[in-house]
Amino acid sequence: MTKIILALSVLIATASFAFGQATPAPPTTHLKVGDMAPDFKLSDTTGKEVKLSDLRGKKNVVLAFYVLAFTGG
In a domain? residue 25:
no
pTM across the whole model? 0.44
pLDDT, tens digit, 9 for 90 and up, residues 36-60? 888 989 888 899 998 999 888 888 8
Instruction: Say if CB 40 and CB 51 are below 8 A apart.
Output: yes
70 falls within a domain: yes
Is the pLDDT at 61 greater than 90? The verdict is no
Q: Is residue 23 part of a domain?
A: no
- Maximum Cα interatomic distance, the chain, rounded to a whole number of Å: 68
Q: Residue 22: inside a domain, yes or no?
A: no
Range of the domain at 71: 38-73
Dist CA 37 CA 53 (whole Å): 10
pLDDT at 2: 56
> What local confidence, expressed as pLDDT, does residue 49 receive?
93
State the Cα–Cα distance between residues 21 and 11, nearest whole angstrom: 16
